[in-house]
Chains A and B, each alone.
Chain A
Amino acid sequence: MQPGVRVGVIAGVVTIFLAAVGLIGNFTELNIIGEEVTFAQLMLVMIPLVAGFVATAPKVEAGELVTFTPQRAAMVGAVSGAVAGAVFGAFVVFVDAFGVERVRSVFLNVSPVLMDYLTSGRPALTAAAILTVISAIAGAAGATYRALPDAVRRPLGSAIWVTLLFGFLQRIVPIALDQLEVERDWLYSKITGGLTWVGAIVIALVAAGISVLKQQKGGAIRGAIVARRDRGAEGPRITPLSIVLMLVGLALVLIAPQVLGSVISDVLGTVMVFALLGLGLNIVVGYAGLLDLGYVFFFTLGAYSLALLTGATLNTFIGSSEPVISLNLNFYVAVPIVVVIAAVAGVLIGAPVLRLRGDYLALVTLGLGEMIVVLVTSPWLVPLVGGPQGMRDITSAAIGDFGFRDPRHFYYLALAFVALALFVSSRLASSRVGRAWTALREDEQVADAMGVSTTSYKLLAFAIGGAIGSVGGALFAVKIGSLTPASFQVLVSIQVLGIVILGGIGSLPGVITGSLVLVGLPGLLREFEEYRLLAYGAAVVAVMLLRPEGLVPNVRRSRELHEDELDQDRWVRDVVLDEGVAPTASPQGEGTG
């Protein structure tokens, strides 16, 4: 019973926290499905539900895996839900007794509106009792969900989360559908803003159906992969199917902005700018293992040097003026120059901090990153970069008459540079240079003793990482067309580092995933803009605790782990064969090779 109580208390505190930061009170009107299911309600139900699910996780006791019987699971779940509800109910009673206004003077979001919503006008104690009961039911439901057989649980799970995802994307999916001229009133209601019940049910059924199909086919596909590996195939095989899939994927990426409209294209453009920054930082942190907290330096450097090279003007109170240094180069001539400037700056920054390691390096780079922010804001450099007013009239990188300011055009420009950076990164990773970086990261002293010039390779990492990051800055300048110091804060460094860590340090697909999750999702869920950093922090903490290798770990390492498993499989099969209980070696997937 104890785990149920503990998880319940945590869940209750989480609910109080969410209420206190306003995540419940501000979203009582955000309809997810019909008018009945709002985001606020979802949170009040989902938290105890998840608590019930977590509390009944099988655990290892005295070396044995202990699972709950369904009845006991439901009990434990109900208890944890009830505790969560009771803790939160106690908060409601406390606020009511202490006075909403007094609490509000500290916690701005604990408002009479929130209290009205939570109590529905009933006395606080009654409301607390109701919350407890609802939470207990939700907790029991969560526990029961875990106890369901896989065949039911998986489709049900995907039905729920896919439906909720579509509910949350209510500002985005309808726009995309409109763009495609697809009738969508049956799916998203124009009145409530959220999914209609019909739409929700259809989505849930489709998601469940796909999940069932995956379950049936998934085993066969996995078997085929194992069989093919067993035949000694080295590396990924190119099959007709994989070519078709790649072409379809490529086509989707290429037509995306046309289909998705300018709002989503705009978000994707930002995603790609951050992906470039992530790819650059990945070389410094992921490949060479140098923790750089001042990466905003290169972002800023790239943006401002591009602006100066391509004839942008300074914002002044009376209009605009020429900066003291101004060239009028074409964007495509300027970018290579920006890259060179950034690479040189990378070496200059790297040189004094080379002797530092780990935490010390992180602190010094943090300071260097802050310096450039101070520089672009300072009155001293106003004639050059405009100070707080910033710069404007930045080139749209036009080729002929085709400018890239429009988000749907910018997408392609950014895509080209991301593709190039991915290419460069992957080539470097699998080369003599990449090997030297890996050695440096794993053991600097030994790398040195094995003939790797640690100085040169650290500087090289700073230079190349900086160069890629500066392109991100240059593209950012083109994207928004004007620069103010507000865009260049230490926060950028942290965000980019978050992308690299979340995705999986040293992993290229990880960087892309990281940018999609940490930049793309918040961009799409505009309602939650205020809570972006909260979610950011929560996401990074969660990943570090639950999956420290990142969402999409470094391919090389995961492949190695996978091959170990295959070796084991092979060994087990050989032993079984030797002992004469031969299962027929599965020849599945023979035809696909």
Chain B
Amino acid sequence: MSPALLEVDGVTKRFGGLSALNDLSFEVGEGEIVSVIGPNGAGKSTVFNVITGLYPPDEGDVRLRGQSIVGLSPNRITRAGIARTFQTVHLFPNMTVLENAMVGQHSRSKAGVFGAILRTPAVRREEEAIRERARECLDFFGSRLAGYRQDQPAFALSYANRRRLEMARALATDPTMMLLDEPTAGMNPSETLELRDHIVRMRDELGLTVLVIEHDMRVVKGVSDRVVACDYGRKLAEGTYDHVANDEQVIEAYLGRRHEELG
């Protein structure tokens, strides 16, 4: 059997005395949409940061197509095909919307200093291709990021559009796998619904594998092939939404019955 696209294998990450991740393992298969759920502080974002190379794990391994990506710098991991968004939106606020998306194409293009200075036909073609690809990625969100908005600085966007732009920028890195960190945080119900469709379309139309951290259970239910629930850096349960949602431990973690028992 060929290995899953992404394997998180026994990862432990400590910050001082606190274990943010504790022997956490799960897999994401090609073309799957997997949700990671858990209460605040469960270590969800830490998993993302370990996968994308922001933090090195203390123990364990992360493999992409069977190859370990531990120890690679974030930009190498992006090049390898993992794109991400951030829990709090991180755009390049003073660059235009289009430029933000064009940055995403960085690792898929190669014009260097001399090319930039001489501006050879090849470099110009590449620049045009970068722009074209960036536009395509912005167009994924329909009219939301189209037209005059593309030439506005990113800071001028509404909150929901900033989130969309962050996703478009991640799409522009031409990933095989997309990591979305609470994509619907701060969005209103209709925007949330729209975004749910976008996540499904990322898989169905763009052929991406998606790993998503999400709090909104309607979204989790609507998009997930599988759900991984964690708390205190450990995996509590894994499986279909219905399976996980009815799991005793998961309910405890969310409703806090543990406290009662201890008391």
Q: Which residues of A contact B (CB under 8 A)?
A: 423-424, 427-428, 431-436, 438-439, 442-443, 445-455, 460, 464, 557, 560, 563-564, 567
Residues of chain B with a CB closer than 8 A to A443's CB:
90-92
Residues of chain A with a CB closer than 8 A to B111's CB:
431-433
Q: State whether A449 touches B113 (Cβ < 8 A).
A: no
Residue of B nearest to A447 (CB): B103
Report if A435-B90 is in contact (Cβ < 8 Å); known contacts: A449-B54, A451-B78, A452-B75: no
Q: State whether A560 touches B116 (Cβ < 8 A).
A: no
A-B contact pairs, 20 of them (CB 8 A): A431-B116, A432-B111, A433-B113, A435-B95, A438-B92, A438-B94, A439-B95, A442-B93, A442-B94, A443-B90, A449-B74, A450-B103, A450-B107, A450-B169, A450-B170, A452-B103, A454-B75, A560-B151, A563-B151, A567-B148
Known: A433-B113, A446-B86, A450-B107. 7 other contacts (CB 8 A): A428-B117, A432-B116, A434-B116, A442-B94, A445-B74, A450-B104, A453-B75
Residues of chain A with a CB closer than 8 A to B127's CB:
431-432
Q: State whether A451 touches B104 (Cβ < 8 A).
A: yes
Q: State whether A451 touches B117 (Cβ < 8 A).
A: no
Tell me the chain B residues, 102-125 only, with Cβ under 8 Å from chain A.
102-104, 106-109, 111-113, 115-117, 119, 123
Residue of A nearest to B96 (CB): A560
**How many positions in chain B have a CB within 8 Å of any CB in the partner chain?**
44
Whether a CB of chain A sits under 8 angstroms from the CB of B63 is no
Residue of A nearest to B170 (CB): A450
Q: State whether A450 touches B78 (Cβ < 8 A).
A: yes
The CA of A442 and the CA of B99, in the complex, are separated in Å by 12
The CA of A443 and the CA of B103, in the complex, are separated in Å by 12
Q: State whether A450 touches B93 (Cβ < 8 A).
A: no
**Chain B: interface secondary structure?**
helix
Residues of chain B with a CB closer than 8 A to A455's CB:
73
Q: Which of B94, B99, B108, B115 contacts A435 (CB 8 A)?
A: B99
Residues of chain B with a CB closer than 8 A to A567's CB:
148
Residues of chain B with a CB closer than 8 A to A445's CB:
54, 74, 90
Whether a CB of chain A sits under 8 angstroms from the CB of B56 is no
Shortest distance between the CB of A286 and any CB in chain B (Å) = 13
Residue of A nearest to B175 (CB): A451
**Chain A: interface secondary structure?**
helix
The CA of A452 and the CA of B108, in the complex, are separated in Å by 10
Q: State whether A560 touches B153 (Cβ < 8 A).
A: yes
Residues of chain B with a CB closer than 8 A to A446's CB:
86, 90-92
Whether a CB of chain A sits under 8 angstroms from the CB of B52 is yes
Whether a CB of chain A sits under 8 angstroms from the CB of B226 is no
Q: State whether A432 touches B109 (Cβ < 8 A).
A: yes
Shortest distance between the CB of A12 and any CB in chain B (Å) = 42
Residues of chain A with a CB closer than 8 A to B152's CB:
560, 564
Whether a CB of chain A sits under 8 angstroms from the CB of B224 is no
Residues of chain B with a CB closer than 8 A to A450's CB:
75, 78, 103-104, 106-107, 169-170, 173
The CA of A452 and the CA of B75, in the complex, are separated in Å by 6
Residues of chain B with a CB closer than 8 A to A431's CB:
111, 115-116, 119, 123, 127
Q: State whether A433 touches B94 (Cβ < 8 A).
A: no
Q: State whether B52 touches A449 (Cβ < 8 A).
A: yes
Q: State whether B116 touches A557 (Cβ < 8 A).
A: no
The CA of A560 and the CA of B78, in the complex, are separated in Å by 30
Q: State whether B151 touches A435 (Cβ < 8 A).
A: no
Shortest distance between the CB of B124 and any CB in chain A (Å) = 10
Report if A438-B84 is in contact (Cβ < 8 Å); known contacts: A433-B113, A560-B153: no
The CA of A504 and the CA of B42, in the complex, are separated in Å by 45
Residue of B nearest to A428 (CB): B116
The CA of A563 and the CA of B119, in the complex, are separated in Å by 27
Q: State whether B94 touches A557 (Cβ < 8 A).
A: yes
The CA of A432 and the CA of B103, in the complex, are separated in Å by 8
Q: State whether B95 touches A438 (Cβ < 8 A).
A: yes
Shortest distance between the CB of B87 and any CB in chain A (Å) = 12
Residues of chain A with a CB closer than 8 A to B94's CB:
438, 442, 557
The CA of A198 and the CA of B176, in the complex, are separated in Å by 79
The CA of A449 and the CA of B52, in the complex, are separated in Å by 7
Q: State whether B113 touches A428 (Cβ < 8 A).
A: yes
The CA of A421 and the CA of B170, in the complex, are separated in Å by 34
The CA of A434 and the CA of B103, in the complex, are separated in Å by 10
Shortest distance between the CB of B187 and any CB in chain A (Å) = 21
Residues of chain A with a CB closer than 8 A to B173's CB:
450-451
Residues of chain B with a CB closer than 8 A to A434's CB:
116
